[in-house]
Amino acid sequence: AVSPQELVALRSLRIGCVGSGGTGKSTFAGHVRDSYGVPIVTEGVRDWLVARGRSGLAVLDAREVSELVWDVLEHRDRSTAQASFIADRTSVDSICFARSLGSRLADHDAFIERAEAIASRIDVFVFFPYRSEYLVDDGVRKRSSLFQLAMSTALFAELRRLGLLPRVHVFEHHRSADWNLS
């Protein structure tokens, strides 16, 4: 369990989980919320898809993809303005996705700039390394090990490019969630 001093610190931080799909980010964020009362900020992609009656990313056209990534960024901007939270994804994910879209994303450069500003709010990034045994194909995440490894690499490279590596804790899957929090 987390010590009383660690609990005070934990409840004062803005924590962002980073990693490819299916590595345990949402499970960890839910544990922190349920066990320690830290507000959770969810990604928003699944909610966006459900609200529009969509089953996954593959069915979206270019206009919808652009709308989705901007709406998710708006959600992250609003949600991360609070004093403390744990986010199951961060705007670093948004940056990587925007880079993969390139010029197909409306106002690409403005998007990257805004996402970088939002990422700078995070006090601690918990980086979840790729774990093949967690992969699922649910229409949002891809089951491909190669894709997952490439995504993990891109996320870590963005953290380095933004100068955020000193704020990164690499989640150790073989340790408990509470050990990783400590």
Contacts for 122 with CB less than 8 Å, ≥ 6 apart: 14, 15, 16, 80, 87, 90, 164, 167
Residue 157 has pLDDT above 60, yes or no: yes
Beta strand pairing status for 85-87 and 124-128? Answer: unpaired
Rg, the chain, Cα only: 16
Per-residue 3-state assignment (H helix, E strand, C coil) for 23-57: CCHHHHHHHHHHHHCCCEECCCHHHHHHHCCCCCH
- What per-residue confidence (pLDDT) applies to 145? 76
Q: What backbone torsions phi and psi does residue 18 show, to the nearest 5 degrees?
A: -135, 135
Distance between CA atoms of residues 127 and 124, nearest Å: 9
pTM recorded for the entire structure: 0.87
76-119 pLDDT, tens digit each: 999 888 889 999 999 999 999 899 888 888 899 999 999 999 99
Res 134: pLDDT: 55
Summarised one tens digit per residue, pLDDT across range 2-44 is 888 888 999 999 999 999 887 889 999 999 999 999 999 988 8
Q: What is the pLDDT of residue 139?
A: 55
Closest CA to 2 of 43, 35, 34: 35
In this structure, which amino acid lies at residue 64? E
Q: Which helix (H) or strand (E) element contains residue 18? A: strand 14-19
